[in-house]
Structure formats: C-alpha cells, structure tokens
Amino acid sequence: MKAIEIARKLAGYAQEASACQAYTVAVQEGCMPEEELEAALYILRASSGDYKVSFTCLRNLYNRGCFQAECLEIMTQAFYQPNEKLLRSRYEKNCRLLERYPYLFRKDFVPFEDLPVRFYPYDEKGVVPFFVDEARFGDYMNFEHPVVSRNFFRDLEKPILADDVYSQYELEYLCDNVRDSAYVGRENHIYLHYTSWADFCAHLTCLNLRAPLLTQKLVFLIGDEISQYPIDFKERFGLDYSKAEPRPVGIREVHKLIWHTQLSTHNGGDFFNEVFDDHPNLLAYTSVMFDSIQESIKTWRAALEKAKGSKETLQDLMRQREISPRVAQELLSLRDVTDKDVMVAFFLGNPHIAKSLDPAARIAPALFFQPHFSNIVYKLHVDANGNTVLDSDQYMAACKSPIFRGFKYIKTFTPMRRLTTSHAATVRFMYEATKGPRKEGESLKVVADAVSQRVLNRSFMIDWQDRLYQDSVLVRFEDGKLNPKATFTALAAFLDVPYAESMSYCSELGVRRTGETEEGGYAIGFDPVTVYRTYDEYASDSERCYIEYFMRDVYEYYGYGFQYYDGKEVDMERVKEWVGDFSRIDHYMRETWAEVYQASNISANGQPLGEEFLDAARSQLLDKRMEAYRANRVKNGEILMRSLRFVNRNGQELHMMSKLELDPALLEHPLYHG
C-alpha cells in the first residue's frame, strides 16, 4: 500500500498525528500534484502537523505551475496576512527614519501595497520572497544569518562601496567595523549602491535600520547615483574630516574575531600564523595555550578592581602583560568589563602585536586568534538511536568560552594537512618530546595512540547551526605551500581582509623568517619540502592504510588521493590485520610506556617484589596496556565500518566544512592531490 493511501486511511480513522507522518512520507517519496496538495492541506489544518511541510509543498506546487491560484491564496491567508501588520509597521518605521536621513537622496517611497516583493515568513528566523511581477517564489532568506558573504574590505584605498546589501547582519557588520570618518581623519563613509529603488523599498519590510542609521556612516546611492561615488563631504556638506586627528583604535572598536582553529597537531598552524603576522588590519599573534589565556584573563579581571585604586598595581599589571599605558588606562575606564575586553586589551596593548596598525586605517582590526591545545581528543560512541556520536572536551571548552561568545562577528578557518603525513609528524614530535629534559616534578612523557586519535578527530566536520562554524572554511596546508598567492588571496577574501604585502612572506612579530629548512624538519616560509616528506620511520604502511580507509570520505571531499590504501573492499578481518601490524606506533608507545613502568614502584600486599618478579610484573602490565590499545582500535574500526555518518552530543548531524576554492588563474603549480 502506498504512503498516500495509508495517510488517507489514518485520516479516516481520526489518527491525526500518524496521518500527518504518512502524508509527509508520501510527499518525500513523490506523488501526483493533486495528492501533494491534499497532503499540504491536511497537514496545515492538523493541530499536530508541521506547517513547514505544507509551506514547502505549496511553494513548490506554485513554482511548478500547479494549482497556482489555490496555492497562492492558501499561502497568503495562512502565512502572509497574519504577519502583514508587522511587515507594514516595520516598513513605515524605516521610511520615516530614511525621510530624515541626510545621506539618502531619494524619498519617493513605494506604497506598501505596490511593493514588488512580498516576504512570506517561514520560521522565526527567515522568510521566502514572492516576486509579484515574475509570479514566482524565491529561496529561503535569513536576514540575520551570521555570514559575511563577500570581501567588502578587499581594497581600502577608497571608501567602502558595496552593491545591494540586503543582509541585516552585513549592514551591522559594516557599521561596526568601518571606523568613523572623524576617527581616521578622512572621508570614510560606507557607500551602499542599490540597483533598484523598488526592490530596496521592498526589503525595508524585513530590515531594521534604526541602529545602522544612528552611526551616520551609510550613504545610499540608488541606480545612476553611483556616479556620485565618492562624495566630497567638505564641498557638499561642509564636513572637513581632514582637520580631525586620527584616533588610535579603542578596545571596544574591535568586534571581529578570526578563529584559526587547531584541527590537530602538526597541521601547519604555525605556517599560517607566520603568513598573517604583521598584517596591517589584524591583531595577530603566535598560537597561545587556551588554558593559559583563560587563566590570564581570570587573573586580570580580578586584579583590575584593585588596580583602579592603586597606581602601583596598574604598573605591575602592565609589566606582566607588556601592555601599553594607553590601553591599560582605557581598560580601567570601561564599565562592565568582559573577558572579550580583556582579551582585546592583551592584543591591542602589546607593542609587538599592534605596532603595524595604522591609526588612520579605514577599518578596525580583527583579532586573529589561534588557541592551542596540547592535543585535540575526540571520543566515539553509539547512542540509543544508533547514531555514531563524536564528542570532544576541547571543542566544547571553546564553544562555551566567554572569549568567543563576546565577539559579534566570527570568521573561522581550519588548516588541514595530508592526514598520514600529519600523523607521522605527530608521532615523531611526541617521541622526541619524551627524550627532552624534564622540569622538576614533571611526569615522564609517553607516545599516545596517535592512530586512534587521528581517525576519530573529525573537527573539520561541523554542525551548521553552531555559531562558531557558521562562517567557516577549510584550507589545505599543501595549497598554502605550493600555491601561496592563490591560497592566501582566496583566504583573505573569505576572511574579509585585504590581501596585504605582508602575506607574501612569513614573519614572527614582524621579523621575517629567512634561511634554509631548520634542523628537525621545520620548513622556513613557503619552502614546500614538508609537503612531500612522509616520515616513514614514524608510521608503518598498515597504520596509514587504516587512516586512509577510515578517512576515505575526507580524502574524497578535500581532494587528496590515496597513497597506501588500495581502494579495495575492506572487512573486519583486514582491519584486524592492519591493527596487528602497527609496528611503528606500537614500538614507540611500548618503549615510552616501558620507561614509565620501569620508574614505578610495584608491590604485592605492601611488600616490595624481588627484581625478577618486578620485571615480570612490569612486562605483564605493559602487555596488557598494549593489548587494550589494540582492542580499542578494533572496536573503533567496528563502529566506523557501520557508517561514516556522525552526529554531535545533541544528535545534530555533522557535515564537512566547506573547502577553500582557489582561482585557477593564480595557480603557480597544479593542485596537490598526492
């Protein structure tokens, strides 16, 4: 029996909730237009129905030319008319504000009834436009979607000019990040060009222009008025901004965070930091330990109260963080200081970080931040619904941090390096760290199970509803090394900063890095030697096959080719064969754990063991530990063999982060596939 027939029977038995579910299945499976209309009407009228299903059905039917008169009437009555009063009120308020606004030069607002676009509310956040003259519905729109969709700040030689900006989020972003003309000592308004006056008026039903207009930064140019750009404000309005002294950037002028995420260890994070170092529109610093920065902010906030009444305490704080007196005094003068304020002060007040900032820059600098964790560890389990759940304490710590929550605008980018190369480099680093000197009281270091950590670390998979990742992109380390101009031009455009001359070389705190590849394998600048290095002594082929197979979706999505996995079908027997041949990682783990057990005191019933029994006990403990690691790898393999579909701890499905696309015209070498 078809779903539509089941739905009708359930409706006949007054099983409303079940009937709605069956009608929804019928629509998803595909049915005749009259059946789809039937489903939409039933679900819309049902108290337990999902109105969004009805909305989508009616919209699609209308756009396909089916039952257009009926669909439009139903949608207008059900969705538009209940919200018409609010839309009209918002339109009239915006019109009144714009009538008095000096930098809009046209005032013949279109009557509400004649607007060419009607916006049908779909949910609490978004609408679907209906284009009256074209007789069609458009795509879903969320005017407050937290994404900066274009490179507004590509060229700062002239005032900002942008066409048809209809996003509330982007309008506020421009006003918050473009500095006031009086602050920079030159004309610095934001010129918004709208190609159609009628369309501009129609969008006033959804925008709230009160706050943006209060800044007096916006200049609206309609149609041919674009020829007026840029306006001579001294001649036309008697405003001579050149008389104003450029003002240093204030703490609360910094609203934008660029979060350089740490996908995993040895992914090229330092390389990206060195490219963005000394950028004239960034407050950029080397990576800092996340726990350390949080503790510093906590300490500072506690000390600020004391500093307000003590000149000596203030000077003490300034010495501790190497913060300038101007920024320290400003921080002290702020009311309701937040973690974000203190964080900005750390960066803005550091003379090494802020030395390249131009006080006459058109835009406020963004804070470029790479919080570093000693390791990113993900846990894997299957929930009650059979979903594979990925969870990370480090990721949740970042999500909950007041530092991140304090920034209104967040751009996120994640570097990725070929996973097998990154894995082997990590093993090398961990092993070398175990041989280094130890501080007093410090425990012995060991090589962790880097293979398991690697296949479970999918921090490039994101919940699209997560605020920290709604405006994010993944960039490949190999692209940055082999095609630096193309990569960093594209990345600058995504981050909405100019591509600066400082991005054509690597530096640290403004000092260029020069010379040959360093001992230990760190490649200076754009030297591509580490792209091709495989670190064979730190990873066996079986380990790398295991990684490539269980990350095969990642390889395909981000454009990497297999170097070890042969592409053939895999069963659990083959997985166990791989795990049994993890010769490199097991060697280093066993060696370093053996040192831990060698240094440990083992007793039986409180009595010390003889040397012979002690050695046997240590060997037995070591064997059990290694066997537990092997069992865990097999268990992970069994879970991952089920599916490579993952959800977070809230059950939200995770998706691959978008990959940074490069301009083919700027490529110096073919794209890396390996």
Point out the domain boundary residue: 220, 247, 274: 247
111 lies in some domain:
yes
* Pair (312, 365) in one structural domain: yes
Asked, for residue 674, whether it belongs to a domain, the answer is: no
pLDDT at 316: 66
Angle at 647 between CA 397 and CA 268, to 5 degrees: 55
pLDDT of residue 391: 77
Which residues constitute the domain of residue 627?
A: 537-653
Backbone φ and ψ of 371, nearest 5°: -70, 130
- Measured CA to CA, the distance from residue 656 to residue 122 in angstroms comes to 26
More confident residue, 383 or 23: 23
- In this structure, the answer to whether residues 412 and 346 fall within a common structural domain is yes
Domain count, the chain: 4
Is 446 within the bounds of a domain? no
Residues for the chain: how many in total?
Answer: 674
Segment 401-421 mean pLDDT: 93
At 374 the pLDDT is 67
Q: What percentage of the chain exceeds 70 in pLDDT?
A: 94
What confidence tens digit (pLDDT) does each residue in 448-504 have?
999 998 998 888 888 888 888 999 999 999 999 999 999 999 999 999 999 999 999
Residues 170, 144, single domain; the answer is: yes
Mean pLDDT of the chain: 91
- Looking at the structure, tell me whether residues 10 and 42 fall in a common domain: yes
183 and 102 in one domain? yes
Burial class (CB in 10 A: 0-12, 13-18, 19+), 354: middle
- Omega prior to 230 cis, within 30 of 0: yes
CA distance 433 to 436: 5
φ/ψ of residue 499, rounded to 5? -75, 110
327-349 pLDDT, tens per residue?
988 988 899 999 999 999 999 99
pLDDT digits (tens, 9 = 90+) for 209-224: 999 999 999 999 999 9
Interhelix angle 68-75/51-63, nearest 10 degrees: 140
Structural domain ending residue among the three candidates 225, 247, 269: 247
Would you place residue 387 in the very low, low, confident or very high pLDDT band (cuts 50, 70, 90)?
Answer: confident
The DSSP annotation for 465-502 comes to T-GGGTTEEEEEHHHHHHSHHHHHHHHHHHHT----GG
Whole-angstrom distance, CA of residue 64 vs CA of residue 564: 49
Residue 563 lies in a domain: yes
Within a domain: residue 75? no
Question: What is d(CA 594, CA 102) in angstroms, rounded to the nearest whole number?
Answer: 77
How far from 516 is each of 214, 482, 501, 674, CA to CA, in Å?
54, 17, 22, 24
Which of 130-134, 294-298, 600-604 is least confident?
600-604
Residues 400 and 521 in one domain: yes
- Is residue 447, in this structure, part of any structural domain at all? no
- Bridge partners (DSSP) of residue 511 are 508
Give the Å distances, CA to CA, from 195 to 163, 192, 673.
Answer: 7, 10, 43
Is pLDDT above 70 for 320?
Answer: no
> 603 forms bridges with which residues in the sheet?
608
Q: For residues 215 and 256, state if they share a domain.
A: no
Q: 566 lies in a domain?
A: yes
* In a shared domain, residues 554 and 489: no
Query: Is residue 604's pLDDT more than 80?
Result: no
Residue 445 domain flag:
no
Q: What is the rounded distance in angstroms from the CA atom of residue 558 to the CA atom of residue 460?
A: 11
Note whether 362 and 225 are same-domain residues: no
Same domain, 259 and 317: yes
Residues 47 and 176 in one domain: no
In single-letter form, the type of residue at position 533 comes to R
Question: What pLDDT, on the 0 to 100 scale, is given for residue 385?
Answer: 82
34 pLDDT tier (thresholds 50, 70, 90): very high
As given in the structure block, the two tokens for residue 638 are 């069994």
Q: How many CB atoms lie under 10 A from the CB of residue 543? A: 27
The yes-or-no verdict on residue 657 having pLDDT over 80 is: yes
List residues bridging with 475 in a β-sheet: 415
Listed residues 19, 37, 66: the one ending a domain: 66
- In this prediction, residue 266 carries a pLDDT of 77
pLDDT of residue 551: 96
The model's pLDDT over 152-197, given as tens digits with 9 standing for 90+, comes to: 999 999 999 999 999 999 999 999 999 999 999 999 999 999 999 9
Asked if residue 522 and residue 496 are part of one domain, the reply reads yes
Least confident of 24-28, 309-313, 621-625: 309-313
89 vs 429, which has greater pLDDT?
Answer: 89
At 581, is the pLDDT very low, low, confident or very high (cuts 50, 70, 90)? very high
Q: What percent of the chain has pLDDT over 90?
A: 72
